Structure 1
Amino acid sequence: MNPVTTEEEHLCEECGKSLFGRSDKRFCNDGCRNAFNRKKRDAQREKETQDMPAVFRIIKNNYEILKRYELYTLEQGEKKFVRRYELEKQGFHFGYCTSANKVNSQDTWLYCFELGYLESGPSTVYLKYEEYKRR
């Protein structure tokens, strides 16, 4: 004869194993808890990215690409030279920026926040870091 149990069996929310111990326990171990929270956080970030207007995603992507060049290490006024195709290959969109600074009749520095780029000819781009200020 099987004993009648009035207690409902609790399962780990991540892996589905039976839980023992406290009645409010949700996970069988720290690994499952961390994996569950990581998936939840990743899903939330993905949703935020999908809800973000396309122009914001493009500017964020441009900024992330420029950050890879470690422009923060440059001295004030120093520039870094890169080929246009290198940026394009990484998905950089030249038409999107957060501000612009016309320095003379021919040159206009475009910025993604504090990271600037100047197209100098069809295949040359100069990059620089400039502390963010009103332009």
Structure 2
Amino acid sequence: MDNSIKQCLYCDKKMQGRTDKKFCSNHCRSSYHNAVYGNRTNYMRRINALLLRNRKILSDLFVLQRKGTQVPLSELYIKGFAPQHFTHQAKHASKTVYTYCYEFGYSYVGKNAVKIIQEVNIESSLL
């Protein structure tokens, strides 16, 4: 049995015990992994937060939009909509391209308005 003294990977504290032990405590283990892997997931969290904000804006305006009415682009921008962040695009039968944030999509109607739709069965349209 190897009783060599090792150092914690996070705080460099000397520790004894199992030969495969890497951290002196759960706090050090958690802090180490947060430091190593935190930056990788922060980018995805920020992008997903933007996508969810866009989805909420489209959802709110979809509820307010009466069937057949258009939503002014200015209304989207006032609420903080970021058109460069979307989940996918799809061309519908009318050859109109819709840009989606999850199940809510929009297409431009003229220069200053959009039409918002909700894809009821999102899984089948992505296959």
Question: Is structure 2 residue 109 aligned with structure 1 residue 120?
Answer: yes
Relative to the length of structure 1, the TM-score reads 0.52
Q: Which amino acid aligns with 1:85?
A: Y
Measure how far apart 1:64 and its partner are. 4.3
Computed over aligned residues only, the root mean square deviation of the Cα atoms, in angstroms, reads 4.5
Tell me the residue number matched to 1:14. 10
Q: Which runs of 5+ in 2 are unaligned?
A: none
Partner of 2:28: 32
Tell me the distance in 2 between the aligned counterparts of 1:39 and 1:10: 21
Q: Distance in 2 between matches of 1:128 and 1:100?
A: 13
- Give 3-state SS (helix, strand or coil) of 1:37's partner: helix
Larger fraction in helix: 2
Whether the 8 Å CA contact 2:86–2:99 is kept in 1: the answer is: no
2:98 aligned to which of 110, 113, 122? 110
Q: How far apart, in 1, do the equivalents of 2:35 and 2:26 lie?
A: 14
The 4+ residue runs of structure 1 with deviation greater than 6 A are 77-80
Structure-2-length-normalised TM-score: 0.55
Q: Compare 13-22 and 123-132 and name the one that shifted more.
A: 123-132
Unaligned 5+ runs, structure 1: 1-5, 50-57
How many residues are matched? Answer: 114
CA contact (8 A) 2:51 2:87 kept: no
Cα deviations by residue, 1:54-111 (Å, 9 ceiling, x for unpaired)? xxxx9x7974453343739x67x97794635348x6542289943122548xxx3513
Mapping of residues 39-54 of structure 1, within 5 Å = 39-45=35-41
Work out whether residues 84 and 125 of structure 1, in 8 Å CA contact, stay in contact via their aligned partners in 2.
no
- 2: distance between equivalents of 1:37 and 1:102? 48
